[in-house]
């Protein structure tokens, strides 16, 4: 087949876009996983400090120690809130990356289908041309001409 797909460069570009979207999604997933681990570690530290604080309260503690624990707990809770916001942003980024990947995949798939259709049309045209040539040779042979 002499025909080549004229939009091959566009198809390759769309493949690169899809690959880039796939990489961005992988990076977003990794970032989100790290933030989830950090959030869990911070929650564990907060729970541990709260438990220690409760035990120390029951055993009796000074006002200075009480303030120290409360300040520490408040700081950890504020960090956890901020980390929770970062985690939410990371999850939103994952959603956006998935949508972009789906769109890039659809666009590439459309061009692939068009390419397949054009290749099939070219194959049919080639077969038609071959049949015309064979018919011409058969007519010449029937009329006594040299092929």
Q: What is the share, in percent, of the chain residues with pLDDT greater than 90? A: 82
Residues sharing a CB contact under 8 Å with residue 77, sequence separation 6 or more, in sequence order: 46
Burial of 14 (0-12, 13-18, 19+ CB in 10 A): buried
Question: How far apart are the C-alpha atoms of 66 and 61, rounded to whole Å?
Answer: 7
Task: Specify the residue for token string 């530290």.
Answer: 45
- Calculate the average pLDDT of the chain: 93
Contact yes or no for 13/111 (Cβ under 8 A) = no
Which class is 8-114 in CATH? mainly alpha
Helices (H), the chain: 8-59, 63-142
Per-residue pLDDT, averaged over 82-105, amounts to: 98
Q: How confident is the model at residue 3 (pLDDT cuts 50, 70, 90)?
A: low
Q: How confident is the model at residue 110 (pLDDT cuts 50, 70, 90)?
A: very high
At residue 2, the pLDDT reads: 46
Residues sharing a CB contact under 8 Å with residue 15, sequence separation 6 or more, in sequence order: 108
- Domain residues of the chain, as ranges? 8-114
Question: How far apart are the C-alpha atoms of 116 and 8, rounded to whole Å?
Answer: 12
Question: How far apart are the C-alpha atoms of 3 and 126, rounded to whole Å?
Answer: 10
Question: How far apart are the C-alpha atoms of 13 and 19, rounded to whole Å?
Answer: 10
């Amino acid at each position: 087949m002499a025909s080549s797909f004229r939009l091959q460069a566009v198809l390759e570009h769309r493949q690169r876009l899809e690959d880039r979207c796939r990489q961005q999604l992988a990076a977003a997933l990794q970032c989100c996983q790290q933030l989830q681990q950090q959030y869990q570690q911070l929650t564990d530290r907060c729970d541990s400090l709260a438990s220690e604080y409760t035990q120390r309260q029951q055993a009796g503690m000074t006002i200075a120690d009480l303030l120290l624990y409360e300040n520490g707990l408040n700081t950890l809770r504020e960090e956890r809130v901020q980390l929770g916001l970062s985690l939410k942003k990371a999850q939103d980024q994952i959603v956006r990356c998935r949508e972009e990947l789906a769109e890039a995949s659809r666009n590439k798939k459309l061009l692939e289908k068009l390419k397949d259709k054009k290749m099939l049309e070219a194959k049919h045209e080639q077969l038609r041309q071959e049949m015309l040539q064979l018919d011409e040779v058969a007519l010449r042979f029937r009329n006594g001409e040299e092929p």
